[in-house]
Structure 1
Amino acid sequence: MSPSPRPHPRSRSRSRRRWIIAAASTTAACVTAATGVWLAAGSASAGTISGTLYREPSGTAVARWLAANPNDSRAQVIRDKIASQPASRWLSNFNLSTVQAEVSGYVSAANAVGQIPALTLYGIPNRDCGGASAGGAPDLPTYQTWVSNIAAGLGNRTVLIVLEPDSIALQTCLSAAEIAARDAALRQATTTLKAGNPNAKVYMDAGHSAWNSAADQAGRLVNSGIAVADGFYTNASNFQSTDREAAYGRSIISALQGRGVSGKTQVIDTSRNGGAAGDWCGDDNTDRRIGQYPTTATNDANIDAYLWIKPPGEADGCAFQAGSFQPSLAASLAQSAPNPPATTAPTTMPTTVPTTAPTTPPTTAPTTTPTQRPPTDPPTLGSYGCTATYQTTGSWNGGFQGQVTVTAADAAINGWTVTWTLGSGQTISQVWNGALTTTSTAATVRNVAWNGSLAARASAQFGFLANGNASTAPALLCFGS
């Protein structure tokens, strides 16, 4: 897993919708806390799968924070109620050359301890409609190559795949032709993943209960190829109660059956739905709580698992950088949750995890060299009010994805500008978290409204997609105001 923050979808366009806020109802199988509802994990039957979900013992954002801050006053509750639980591994930093090895290592580690891994694929072009979690593949053919490389690393045991959050529920930025192309891409991706591992369980995006109607969402799922998938997931990165989502799922299943598609099951993201519902962002809302602990024992034949798709404590992109781990958010989510059920997850990485990449090569090997580059030598800190460092976070034949970190010097700044000379043949095709202007030889990115004010030594990041060769890291200049 890359040490840099990974973007997670919050469907920024959803901030313009009106939300339905509903209190979670209790049932005889529920344990009610002051601010949320947690279902008893138990060993009763569930949907179509059974077994223990895999908890990655190291390498996650929360694990890195705990290792660096063992004496922090928030560490105990974060360790006990969040880090102790399995969460989905996100594949969101687009890279053709390394993703197969990453998947193979992760899946093999889970297989070695007899547990079920969960992966979230988040690399489709124009993801998040260009919002705070923009990025992904530069085009659909390259995306399919990426999916093929993922499929080659899946092994042959059960693995849960959350396919492209927001890709079906959020289509407001796409034309009719683009929607049709995305639908075809999702069908192809599902078929490729199932062919790579027939035991893989692939779930497609169904938004959540306060978004599209069940009938509308079912129609979108049919168009996107739900017939070849195992089911759908709801509430990814959102806050709707488990009861609401289960009812919504039943309505979707019924609507699918009315369209001739049967046998589909649901997965619900319960990572943050134990408290208030409401708007899309949880960065500054202290009424959010973690929900049901992850399990396949859902006591509901329609629901295969309660998953933590969105790792608790990772930001949504409104008050903090999308995907960055924020201990204050994690502690707030966990503070009133009950103690989790006993777990048998390993505390150290199994010794059987492969240390080398799989022998099956990626479908396409990029021609560029290292994807994790050291920062360029910046000006002396404080020379221009800020510094900027660069990292290539993805590359493919003919293009690459870059990330720039802007850091204020010893005094606060109210705005920043980063400029660099483009390499031979390089052009910038997309920027997120910044405003781009270019000439034939140079690129300039200025802050947007929400990330320009930085306290002393504080940082912000922006990313971009580029055409051309990434072999030469740019020499960045940063100017603070």
Structure 2
Amino acid sequence: MTPPTGTPRPAQAAEAPARGSRLRKATALGLAAGLAATGIALSTEMTAGAAAQGSLPAGTQLYKDPNSQVVRWVAAHPGDSRQPIIARRIASQPQAVWFSNYSPSTVTNDVKAVTTAAAAGGQVPVLAVYEIPNRDCGGASAGGAPDLASYDAWVRNFAAGLGSGQSIVILEPDSIALTTCLSAQQQSDRFASLSRAGAAIHAAAPHAKVYMDGGHSAWNSAPEQASRLRTAGILTSADGLFTNVSNFNTTANEVNFAKNVLAALGNPGNLHAVVDTSRNGNGPAGGGAWCDPSGRAIGAYPTTNTGDPAIDAFLWVKPPGEADGCAGPAGTFLPDVAYALASAGASDPTTPPPTTAPPTTTPPTTAPPTTAPPTTAPPTTAPPTTAPPTGAACSVSYKIASAWSGGFTTDVTVRNTGSAAVNGWSLKWAFPGDQQITSAWNAKTTQSGANVTATDLGYNAAVPVGGSTGFGFQGTGSNTASPTAFTLNGTVCTVS
């Protein structure tokens, strides 16, 4: 899970949840049978802080952070052709404020700055707490408090800033669904700490609504997730569960899954669910891709008017446009990503949009950064690969950007070194090992055995003489050796 970053408040991460975040589709190991059976004995302090009854009132106005990355980008780029649609469809919407930096001495004031501003505007803030030790199991969003005792103290400091007004707390994405790196004792200790955290928040802020990690519909089964949530104290220390944070599953599937989890918990009247709809407008990507997959879209706009008594709100917990860790550093705001998500959205928000007219011209044809995913949906067919014009020549730079056991990401730059412009390109190569591409950005990729073809996405089809275009991809394989030969529209390229 990648937390948002780059905000001036020290409580927020340096740029995003990589999952900003890493709520990925996973086959998680079940907890030891004894753990679910034994449960956790609640202390007097925890029982006193039991969750308040009732759901969020329909019509609750959610807080729009004037200092979010997208709002700052919109303000700084009034002439950018992508700005109007990003402003209208993303920056105009309330989104979660993430607290993912370990700053025990400042977190109270950091939280207070948000809750005070929200209260002054008659709005309810959504605050994502992301500081559990060993978060993301050491993945792209690794970090957190140094140990559980430090975490307990940090959460108490966090809670002290909430005040007496209403707030929504998303308590530790991934913390319950993703436990494969923890022993049974470590799981038990973490769940006990989460239970204490929920109780501490309710004790300090009786009008706060606390939602615990429900994973998502393509992860653990509803009974398994319910068992974990019960062990983590949801029945006494929370107001419900959240699902789909930083993921792409459809709202219908998530609502159904959340209801199944609640049913497995016995349908307690004080528990409800919230669903992250920030990027699920087109549903999940094929093959279970979770890290900045192309072709996604913003989903239902944030609201507490869900029409379903079991679902308190549809929220934008993962801010649209902030990277998962493949298109750019986790949590970095990427305008091309935001523009792609906004453009693919089904409709404009129901709230009045800004008066600025949408762009009448197409996005610039210059190449976006090599780490950004495509700004338009991939074409359904490959562009023609007609014979290259006279004077065609090219060079290719192929660089492994990052690698880990069994996986890697790669940046590819194609330069037109010939005497004629290229308009529509197809780059081909063969992997020297067992590499398999799992997702790509700024290009559509197809693979047959070791042979790969990458084609443009329309907006980046033109490569002028002396110009270049770039794309990237994530792959799996034990071998990360680089290809030794590339052809562009049938022309053999030099390798730089």
TM-score range, shorter chain: 0.5 to 0.7
Q: In the alignment, residue 212 of structure 2 is paired with which amino acid?
A: M
- Which residue in the other structure is 2:274 paired with? 267
Match of 1:312 among 317, 320, 323: 320
Secondary structure at the residue paired with 1:95?
A: coil
* Contact map agreement 1:253 1:262 (CA 8 A) in 2: no
Please identify, of 3-12 and 289-298, the stretch whose mean Cα deviation from structure 2 is larger.
3-12
- Structure 2 CA distance, aligned partners of 1:133 and 1:252? 26
| One-letter amino acid of the counterpart of residue 263, structure 1 | N
Distance 1:47 1:12, change over 3 A: closer
Contact 2:129 2:172 (8 Å CA) reproduced: yes
**Alignment-derived partner of residue 158 in structure 1:** 166
Q: Distance in 2 between matches of 1:209 and 1:7?
A: 19
The amino acid that maps onto 2:343 is Q
Distance 1:284 1:299 in 2: 30
2:337 counterpart residue number? 329
CA displacement 1:124-183 (0-9 Å, x = unmatched): 011111000111111111111110111110011110000000000011111111100100
Q: Distance in 2 between matches of 1:334 and 1:450?
A: 25
Residue of structure 2 equivalent to 1:467 = none
Report if aligned partners of 1:6, 1:93 keep a CA contact under 8 Å in 2.
no
- Equivalent residue for 1:121, pick from 123, 126, 129: 129
What displacement does 1:454 show?
10
1:9 pairs with 1, 8, 19, which one?
19
Q: Offset of 1:450 from its aligned partner?
A: 3.4
Cα deviation digits, residues 225-258 of structure 1 (max 9, x gap): 1012100000111111111111111111110007
**2:461 matched residue in structure 1:** none
Q: Which runs of 5+ in 1 are unaligned?
A: 19-45, 346-411, 417-432, 436-447, 459-480
Relative contact order higher in (CA < 8 Å, ≥ 6 apart): 1
Q: Which residue of 1 aligns with 2:231?
A: 223
CA distance in 2, matches of 1:96, 1:454: 43
Partner of 2:251: 242
Percent identity of paired positions between Structure 1 and Structure 2:
46
Taking the TM superposition and a 5 Å limit, the aligned residue runs for 1:39-438 are 47-227=55-235, 228-257=237-266, 261-278=268-285, 279-285=288-294, 287-337=295-345, 338-342=347-351
Contact 1:48 1:301 (C-alpha < 8 Å) held by counterparts: no
Count of residue pairs brought into register by the alignment: 334
Deviations 1:103-128 (A, max 9, x none): 00100111011111110000001111
CA contact (8 A) 2:214 2:225 kept: yes
**Which string of whole-angstrom CA distances, capped at 9 and with x for unpartnered residues, describes residues 283-332 of structure 1?**
241x2111110001111000111000000001111232111111111111
What secondary structure, in the 3-state scheme, does the structure 2 residue paired with 1:274 have? coil
Q: Return the offset for 1:277.
A: 1.2
For residue 450 of structure 1, give the secondary structure of its aligned residue in structure 2: strand
RMSD over aligned CA atoms reads 2.9
Q: Provide closer, same or farther for how the CA distance between residues 266 and 249 of structure 1 changes in structure 2, counting only shifts above 3 A.
A: same
Write the letter of the residue equivalent to 2:409. Answer: W
Provide Cα deviations, 1:83-108, integer angstroms capped at 9, x if missing partner. Answer: 00000100012211211111001001
Check conservation: 1:148, 1:193, Cα contact below 8 A. Answer: yes
Q: Given residue 143 of structure 1, which amino acid in structure 2 is its aligned partner? A: Y
Distance, in Å, in 2 between the alignment partners of 1:115 and 1:13 is 28
Counterpart mapping for 1:465-476 below 5 A: none
Aligned in 2, Cα 1:239/1:86: closer, same or farther, shift over 3 Å? same
The separation in 1 between residues aligned to 2:249 and 2:80, in whole angstroms, is 31
Shift of 1:2: 3.1
> Amino acid of the residue matched to residue 209 of structure 1?
S
Q: What SS does the corresponding residue of 1:50 show, helix, strand or coil? A: coil
Cα distance change, pair 344–189 in 1 and its aligned pair in 2 (3 A): farther
The residue identity in structure 2 corresponding to 1:277 is: P
TM (normalized to structure 2)? Answer: 0.62
How far apart, in 2, do the equivalents of 1:117 and 1:160 lie?
6
- Contact persistence 1:47–1:300 (CA under 8 A): no
Describe the shift of the 1:220–1:277 C-alpha distance in structure 2 as closer, same or farther (beyond 3 A): same
Q: Tell me: CA distance 1:344–1:413, structure 2 relative to 1, closer, same or farther (3 Å).
A: closer
Higher alpha-carbon Rg:
2
1:429 corresponds to which residue?
A: none
CA contact (8 A) 2:296 2:344 kept: no
Aligned to 1:216, what secondary structure does the other structure show? Answer: helix
Query: Which residue is 2:447 aligned to?
Result: none
Task: Work out whether residues 17 and 318 of structure 2, in 8 Å CA contact, stay in contact via their aligned partners in 1.
Answer: no
Paired residues of 2:168 and 2:208 also in contact (CA < 8 A): yes
Query: Does structure 2 retain, via aligned residues, the 8 Å contact 1:53–1:294?
Result: no
Contact kept? 1:55, 1:84, Cα under 8 Å: no
Distance 2:410 2:156 in 1: 36
Residues 292, 14 of structure 1: alpha-carbon distance in 2 compared, 3 angstrom cutoff: closer
In structure 2, list runs of 5 or more residues that go unmatched: 1-6, 29-53, 355-396, 415-467, 471-495
Contact 1:271 1:311 in 2 (8 A): yes
